[in-house]
Copies of this chain bind each other. A is one copy, B any other.
Amino acid sequence: MQTEQLDPDVAARLRRTADGLVCAVVQQHDTHEVLMVGWMDDEALRRTLAEGRVTFWSRSRGEYWRKGDTSGHVQHLRGVRMDCDGDALLISVDQVGAACHTGHRSCFDAFEVSR
């Protein structure tokens, strides 16, 4: 059980931005609804895997942010997949309540650009 460091095989596959981040797409495990997009560094991914609760890196606040700690809108981890070039993660979750801080179920409920 690796809890203090991200699995080196996983870490070696990640292709990070200059800020050390990868894009994390969060999807409801059963409906496949895309709930939100956040950012993770290695430590956020390590915490997510170790705790079974999704943790992001907040670019605006410059701190780790475990989803639901203040809102109660917890994301229980169901699985994590990495894309072919290692710069994006697909996080399968069971979302409690609204994923979006606006109260919407999904952050993408906000604005329809085109249909």
A residues contacting B by CB (< 8 A) are 7, 10, 13, 23, 25, 27, 31-34, 36-37, 45, 49, 77-85, 87-90, 100-102, 104, 107-115
Report yes or no: B112 in contact with A84, Cβ–Cβ below 8 A. Answer: no
| B32→A113 contact, CB < 8 A | no
Q: Which chain B residues border A113 with CB–CB below 8 Å?
A: 7, 10, 45, 49, 79-82, 89
Given contacts A23-B23, A37-B25, A90-B108, contact A114 B77 (CB under 8 A): yes
Contacts of A83 in B (CB 8 A): 36-37, 107-108, 110-111
In the complex the two chains form, is B81's CB within 8 Å of A111's CB?
yes
Min distance, Cβ A26 to any Cβ of chain B, angstroms: 10
